[in-house]
Structure 1
Amino acid sequence: MKPFLEQISGIHPSRSFQYRRLELPAFPHFWHYHPEIELTFIEKGKGIRYVGDNISLFEEGDLVLLGENLPHTWVTQGKQETEIQSAYVFQFPITHLQQFPELSHLVTFLHQAKNGFFFPHPSREIIELISHFGSLNPTSQLLSLIDLIARLEKSPKTGISNSSNRSLHFIEKEQKKIDRVKNYLHDNFQQQINLNDMSNEMHMSPTYFCRWFKRAIGHTFITYLNKLRIEQACRWLTSTDWDVSEIAYQTGFQNVTHFNRVFKKEKSKSPLAYRAQVIKKI
């Protein structure tokens, strides 16, 4: 699905950033990008996070920093603990920080976030800065935002997307088609989906569809579909007592052997080893 160029219209002329606390029945599939830096913290909700060419699960406590023009969306999926999903979102242009030589190291850090950073273990201080942000006056908010970025720079983090060559012009041009195919796969990955059916659905030849999909999404069609299925399998491995064969079939795989092979390729361990590792941490 092609990301939509979002115009961040909520930044008031007298403010240098935008801050929102979102509360929704579900996070919708809104594949988009914008020139502003974005920091998103999931307070309530779980589902699948798409950033560039990466597909990952998210849940409460998910904290992600996104660089300029990096396509992304968070999509609610599965049974939720609460009726309302909520998130804190900060957006700001990097140019504002570039005006201060004292913040040059933070500007460098934000440029390094061009493919996104995930913070697996944010400190208590970082969570408090985020959750208390809305109660501050504008001046204190600005200082708090700088403090927040500085703390994130020093926090353990992992890169998210591997895509370094995104054609935003192509993405903009193919928006409707990408939206259509991504939404379809997100909603139907548990069903049997093959290349011929998908190319027919998009009114393309199989060969052209494969080339188009790789350029638009960053993965081959089969790789993308497998990644989507494996992420859902990870959730069921850790939230249910279903055996591996049941999870394999529920995620759209035809047989357990193929599921195990794809899972190990994506996660570098078997499904049972993944389940044991996560349960041990809990």
Structure 2
Amino acid sequence: MMQPIFLHKHTKSNFQSFVIRHAKVPHLYNKWHYHKEIELLYVIKSSGTRFIGDSIQPFFDGDMVLIGSNVPHFWQNDEAYFKDDPNYVAEVVLLQFEEGFMGNALSLPEMLPIKHLFAKALHGIQFYGATKDNVAALLMDIAYQEQENKVIILLQMLDIIAKSEECHLLSDLSYIMKLPVHSSERIQLVCAFLLEHYKEDITLSEVARVANMTEKAFVVSSKKSTQKTLGQFVNELRISHACKLLINHNHSIGEVCYESGFNNLSNFNRIFKRITGQTPSEYQQKKLPFFIVRS
């Protein structure tokens, strides 16, 4: 894909070292962007497809991820969130802070686990289990605390997730992005096109035309930015959709295969296992978090 846009952080006052927001919005911010602040996002209520670095995964109520500084990301809500239906409102808690918000304290030996956490966050980290539940409770509390208590609670949260093993790295590469804005409109066009048409037979020429590039230039740019081919990107979108169907709906494996854009069941099973590490039937039975298996 093309370049993500740099997004300025949520506004904080001179009396704040970080930003915390508990928000209910029609849908989540769905532009491919990055910013220097580290971000912890807890999805209370919402569903769709989450893009972090080169990771493409479905997300549901209760999703919690930590995103490192300058890592490109966006959340694409399901179609229902764009239809002005009061039953579909995204509710999230967003926490943003700069890596140096503690000043020189991060250089202390006692802060080494947190320093390592910030480095791991360059891949994007998903949390689950008791870790997620404990941090979620603190997030719900911190938004309404007095200012002097907020830093203490933030450090508690960072300590919990820094020491936790209930987590999964999302992106295969560390995306330390310091990119110009000039190509940002192209990726919006390409992402919008792929999200609308990924169930169809998509050709390289079609996508290159959407990006207003030659096929050769698009292939080079896409591989450089995402380390994926167009086919890999589309397959991950399709498998992400398949996972949502397997978890939330009473569909047969065959129905999920064709509803997700595949026209061959054996090919669907092979690609599903390659991406998730398990067969569709195993995934449906376990209903485990969606993790991409890296070769």
Higher relative contact order (CA 8 A, sep 6+): 2
Post-superposition offset of 1:88: 0.5
The answer as to whether partners of 2:56 and 2:240 remain within 8 angstroms in 1 is yes
Aligned partner of 1:84: which letter? Answer: V
Of 93, 96, 101, 2:98 maps to 93
Aligned partner of 2:66: which letter? Answer: L
Match of 1:243 in 2: 252
Distance 1:27 1:165 in 2: 22
The answer as to whether partners of 1:129 and 1:144 remain within 8 angstroms in 2 is yes
Q: 1:166 to 1:215 in 2, by over 3 A?
A: farther
Aligned partner of 1:87: which letter? Answer: V
Distance 2:44 2:274 in 1: 31
The answer as to whether partners of 2:6 and 2:35 remain within 8 angstroms in 1 is yes
Post-superposition offset of 1:104: 4.2
Match of 1:2 in 2: 3
Show CA shifts across 1:94-113 (max 9, x none): 11224212534322322232
Show CA shifts across 1:211-254 (max 9, x none): 12112333111100100110100111122222222222211222
Aligned partner of 2:99: which letter? Answer: I
Match of 2:173 in 1: 163
Q: 1:191 to 1:28 in 2, by over 3 A?
A: farther
Post-superposition offset of 1:168: 3.3
Distance 2:247 2:79 in 1: 13
Of 82, 92, 117, 2:125 maps to 117
Aligned partner of 1:199: which letter? Answer: A
Matches within 5 A, 1:18-37: 18-37=19-38
Q: 1:268 to 1:159 in 2, by over 3 A?
A: same
Match of 2:264 in 1: 255
Post-superposition offset of 1:188: 2.0
Show CA shifts across 1:121-141 (max 9, x none): 144432211111122000111
Match of 1:64 in 2: 65
Matches within 5 A, 1:1-282: 1-77=2-78, 82-100=87-105, 101=108, 102-123=110-131, 124-155=133-164, 156-164=166-174, 168-169=178-179, 172-278=181-287
Distance 1:44 1:68 in 2: 25
Q: CA RMSD in A?
A: 2.0
Aligned length: 278
Distance 1:82 1:218 in 2: 38
What SS does structure 2 have at the residue aligned with 1:169? coil
Aligned partner of 2:30: which letter? Answer: H
Post-superposition offset of 1:78: 5.2
Distance 1:8 1:158 in 2: 25
The answer as to whether partners of 2:70 and 2:177 remain within 8 angstroms in 1 is no
Distance 2:216 2:42 in 1: 40
Structure 2 gaps of 5+ residues are 289-295
Distance 1:3 1:205 in 2: 20
Aligned partner of 2:14: which letter? Answer: P
Distance 1:66 1:137 in 2: 26
Aligned partner of 2:52: which letter? Answer: V
Structure 1 gaps of 5+ residues are none
Distance 1:11 1:251 in 2: 42
